[in-house]
A and B are shown apart, each in its own frame.
Chain A
């Protein structure tokens, strides 16, 4: 599709854009994925947000061994290696790295990069419960972040600028939501890998360019109804789907499966909730990004997300669930034990659990397991 190719070309040349922006005195703000950093604040300060979401390469996992033991989440070790080795152009171009601290794996990225690099790192806490005190704490964190951005960019983030940024980001979320909802149809007009490519592109792309691409993609899918197909429809969920970590998705599609809905804590942009334009914009950001957002597995308990997965499974009429988490991410590992029973008792669909350390040696086993799962779903 032309729009997706246009996005790929934009992403390819994005580093050049960032360097030019920096040369003109602009600021680049990196942030860890997880959906808890309101890009609106960065945009309202006139800086460019870039999500540090690359992964999938075991070389980096090995490189991380110079900085930390192996018992941390694979994606987080990858970020440590990218950041601390000094070899990653995205980390090298940053003026600030904002890290919403969601769990201990992410905290490790913040602390280890703080020690080993000269990066200006801004950690702020994401509580693990939805209570008033927790919402207040999150709001306190993003208010501190706003202040940090104002100092970094020597600007005042006005309510007007913030609302403009919210409108732009809302449009992006709305388009993602609309495209996603098209997939409730059977057959779905959208390939899972295309939808993921849009997400991954959006994590680094210029926001207005991205909205333009999404508009074109949405029009395309509205106008082009798919042919009939008999592929098993899948819910693809887990801890992290990094930019570059497409092995499992490719295997699913290679064996004839169709991902019609995804839910990942990191690597995909949360798009279900828009930010209200009424009232105090900072409170509205906290409300959408924290309170109304379906939380990842590191919330205690993870019930809201599991209920949401059951709802998605029903809304998108899926035949099975592919649960993909990275090694040592204990929150997902623990839930993967008892969620299949809920699926069985509820919609009565099967689930496969895939775990990875980005290691090429996993390829054969992964391939066999996914192929077998697809056979099971068809039989």
Chain B
């Protein structure tokens, strides 16, 4: 017998048999989250209007996110040990821990999962954010809304108190401090993976060995703690397994990035965001279903490219952006409606290759080197990455949508634009955003500046 939630799940590529099989889990999760039939009706409407569900790859990705939500919300009831990591920078070690696990273990980033499900699909993030605002992370102080999502969801009992939490103390101050706040309230252990972004301005991509050594020691400490607390031992084999999965995942993302460079742009940035962030938030479903969903999507998008089918008119200015909003796809749709083809993201343009002269001694150092070579190198590394990616992707414009409440990004609010325009001549829009909480940064608030930028780029192309 069908239930009110079946239609949404079918839209997200669940078969009736799968729904029947998952029904007890689904109903338990619905109760824990506090969703009702109206939420599902609204979600059906949102998914149909905000996502390109003609593409099965998109539906598979939505399915993966919903499965991840179920796994997260029910992890405690299902007898799993629970490890949360911070976004964005602990995903690699998280995947490695999951790959090493011989016990029933949930490893993931709950805040990002909730943004993509309760935010993007159900539009139910506001009560969670408001709960966090009453619990030590008040509004108006530039505190990270992603941390608010985690805090609010814990307070409301939507997600379980973890057995271990680990945060990226080497990139962001807020994540670790929010972990500390939650530790004060719930008492769970927190492991801070520390480092220091202290490279000289102008020193990119050079990577001092001391930085690799220190961050590597911190990641090794995390692995040792996981072994002590959970009995999960990270080995070179499990690390290699995680690397293989990541490679497959990121190879798919790389292919998608290339396909999105087609003119006309074949699929919305909303969908590439679904794919990209699954790798960042999930170590479970992304391992079992993620890569396959992305490959399926790539196949469908390639067919569109072959027939010159696009979601925007041909010749639309192509844009290198930072990252798509996690919780509110209407922002990306607004930008695309304004005529900007959000064809590439800095996150999917690969960083430089490893310097073979760098000596790596431990698994932690292996992970540290990979992280530091990418966006966690330095501020200079960030602006250089934008410059190099803008050139490589041959874009018409750059949209630097920095998160106002993310200090590692907001400090370059002006600098990315100044640097990219000075070095490449490519027009750059510096746009203050909040990709997790769109209450103050919704599409209407951003529209005027985005439309003006799009008009300027079109005029420039026409000249």
Contact = CB atoms under 8 A, between A and B. Distances in A.
Given A111-B411, A301-B183, 4 more contacts: A125-B196, A126-B196, A137-B214, A300-B176
Nearest to B181: A334
B176 A128 contact: yes
Interface string A289-331: 0000000011011100000000000000000000000011011
List the 7 closest pairs (A to B, CB-CB), nearest first: A125-B196, A114-B201, A125-B198, A108-B411, A69-B413, A337-B136, A104-B407
B194 A115 contact: no
A72 B200 CA distance: 21
B407 A128 contact: no
A107 interface: yes
Interface string B134-148: 001100011110000
Contact of B404 (A71, A337, A338): A71
B414 interface: yes
19 contacts: A66-B414, A72-B410, A103-B173, A105-B411, A111-B411, A114-B201, A115-B419, A121-B200, A121-B201, A123-B200, A127-B194, A133-B213, A298-B177, A300-B190, A301-B192, A327-B141, A334-B177, A338-B185, A355-B141
Interface in A94-113: 101, 103-105, 107-108, 110-112
A173 interface: no
Contacts of B181: 334, 337-338
Given A69-B410, A330-B177, A111 B141 contact: no
A103 B199 CA distance: 14
B380 A111 contact: yes
Interface of B: 136-137, 141-144, 167, 169, 172-174, 176-181, 183-185, 190, 192, 194-202, 210-211, 213-214, 217-218, 221, 378-380, 402, 404-405, 407-408, 410-415, 418-419, 432
Contacts of B217: 131, 133
Contact of A101 (B197, B402, B415): B197
Contact of B407 (A71, A114, A133, A355): A71
Contact of B411 (A68, A123, A140): A68
B100 to A, nearest CB: 22
B208 to A, nearest CB: 9
A373 interface: no
A353 B91 CA distance: 36
B178 A129 contact: no
B198 A123 contact: yes
Given A72-B410, A134-B214, A330-B143, A115 B418 contact: yes
A350 interface: no
A240 to B, nearest CB: 15
Given A69-B404, A133-B218, A328-B142, A338 B173 contact: no
A338 B136 CA distance: 8
A111 B200 CA distance: 9
Nearest to A301: B180
Nearest to A111: B379
Interface string A130-166: 0101101100110000000000000000000000000
Contacts, number: 152
Contact of B177 (A121, A126, A331): A331
Contacts of A129: 169, 192, 194, 218
Contacts of A209: none
A333 interface: yes
A140 B196 CA distance: 12
Contacts of A108: 379, 407, 411
Interface in A49-86: 66-69, 71-72
Nearest to A107: B197
A333 B143 contact: yes
A103 to B, nearest CB: 5
Contacts of A140: 210
A68 B177 CA distance: 23
B414 A128 contact: no
Given A108-B411, A338-B136, A330 B214 contact: no
Contacts of B195: 125, 127
Contacts of B141: 327-328, 330, 333, 355
B411 A112 contact: yes
A67 B196 contact: no
Contacts of A101: 196-198
A338 B196 contact: no
A165 B198 CA distance: 26
A67 B136 CA distance: 30
Contacts of B413: 68-69, 71
Nearest to B201: A114
A134 B167 CA distance: 17
A104 B172 contact: yes
A123 B378 CA distance: 11
A110 B412 CA distance: 12
Nearest to B141: A333
Contact of B201 (A71, A115, A125): A115
Nearest to A104: B407
B411 to A, nearest CB: 4
A128 to B, nearest CB: 5
B192 A68 contact: no
A104 B195 CA distance: 12
Interface string A335-378: 10110000000000000000100000000000000000000000
A185 B192 CA distance: 40
B407 A72 contact: yes
Contacts of A131: 217, 221
A182 B164 CA distance: 45
B414 A67 contact: yes
Nearest to A100: B198
Contacts of A72: 407, 410-411
A300 B192 contact: yes
A236 interface: no
Contact of A137 (B167, B176, B196): B196
